[in-house]
Amino acid sequence: MLETITQQVIEVAKQAGAFIRQERQNFNADKIEYKGLNDLVSYVDKTAEGMIVAGLEKILPEAGFLTEEKTINRTGERYNWIIDPLDGTTNFIHGLTVFAVSIALKEYDELVAGVVYEINLDECFYAWKGAPAYLNGKEIRVSKAPKIADSLLATGFPYYDFTKQPQYISLFTDLMQHCHGLRRLGSAATDLAYTACGRFDGYYEYNLKPWDIAAGIVIVRQAGGVVTTFNGGNDVLEKCDVVATNGLIADELVSKIGEYFKD
């Protein structure tokens, strides 16, 4: 059942992605709205979300939704979709080509399926409970880097809540000196997908939302990786800080983060 659902979700994500790709060609800054400090949105996000919701309702009519743009307000008893129609909106608005559709399915309290469609590269990452993770039909696995010193890491910069910025900069400086490099793509969903397929060995970020990371969490875990909070816990969607790794560097990275971020 989950395989069939996931394949149907892939089609929904790709349809929304085609719309987003087309709209990017004629997009201009006059169409930007502000939800908060540096928190941008446009009609593209909202329209894409409406398309996704309509498509998913056909797959599981009884399911509820947790969506970034709040185009629907409904909670399901068993199933709930967690949707970011355009993860990387700031990149999209500025013409940078890293942005993705992110759709996850939660059954009761467990994430059971996830799809991340990286639009411009036409790369679809997906996974469901009990199966491997895939990229465009080919099985993917996390990397085999044994320690941080052998790793390429990804992160995200704070853009509106700067209360932990000093700790973040200190951690960033530390890791910068002890790994192959640090990257910031501007899309948490893409960062997680790239960790799942071994392009990144680890990824960390704080102050996220469930729709940023839910689908990517499923994909990383099914690809053999480990996803926790900054303190090593499993309540990632509740805390909304995330450490995703190949598993081999998980303890080392969580320990390093713990030197700078205390509960």
Binding residues for Mg(2+): 68, 84, 86-87, 212
Question: Which among 178, 177, 174 has a CA at the least distance from the CA of 259?
Answer: 174
Binding residues: 68, 84, 86-87, 212
Q: Are 252 and 232 in contact (CB under 8 A)?
A: no
Extended beta strands in the chain, E state: 32-36, 39-42, 64-67, 79-87, 100-107, 110-118, 123-128, 133-135, 138-140, 152-155, 181-183, 202-205, 226-228, 242-245
User: How does strand 181-183 pair with strand 152-155?
Assistant: parallel
Q: Distance (Å, rounded) from C-alpha 80 to C-alpha 75?
A: 7
Retrieve residue 43's tokens.
């009609």
Angstrom distance (rounded) from CA 254 to CA 113: 25
